[in-house]
Amino acid sequence: MHEWALAEAVVVTAIKTAKEHSFREVTDIEIQLGQLQQIDKDVFAFAVEKALKSQRLLFKETKVHFHDEEAVFQCRNCGREWTFEDNKKKLSTTESEAIHFVPEVAHAYMGCPDCQSTDFEILKGRGVSVSSITGERDD
């Protein structure tokens, strides 16, 4: 599952942030899960927990919070906004899976519901991002 690779990226980011801010311990990690990437939340959460164990002291009491973010698109051609729910049902399993791996390939399989243009912007809900990492310092 490539969720493991993304989970590792989150934990490496937390370690880097902790170093930059001289955190003795990371207390909270807030993760946004953009709907377009269709991450398997259970697998991802398990992978994050596993990866946190690589630094037991730094992540001793770390709480990881996951937040689902709806995917919203805007057509650059006609300006129409729409959500992933509007497109999702029309995608085949193979197409959905391709978007799961590289969300940008949505441009190959989805279009504006009004003018069908594939020239659209992903306004939000693309994929995995970290919204905050909180920790405690010694001082």
User: Under the rule (CB under 8 A), what is the footprint of another protein?
Assistant: 1-2, 4-6, 8-10, 12-13, 16-17, 94, 98-99, 101-105, 107-109, 118-119, 122, 126-133
Q: Check if the beta carbon of residue 73 is closer than 8 Å to that of residue 82.
A: yes
Task: Report the alpha-carbon distance of residue 98 to residue 105 in Å, rounded.
Answer: 7
Distance (Å) of CA 80 to CA 74, 76, 94, 124, 138: 6, 8, 26, 15, 51
Closest to another protein by CB, 6 or 71:
6
CB of 35 to another protein, least distance (A): 15
Closest to another protein by CB, 4 or 88:
4
Closest to another protein by CB, 53 or 138:
53
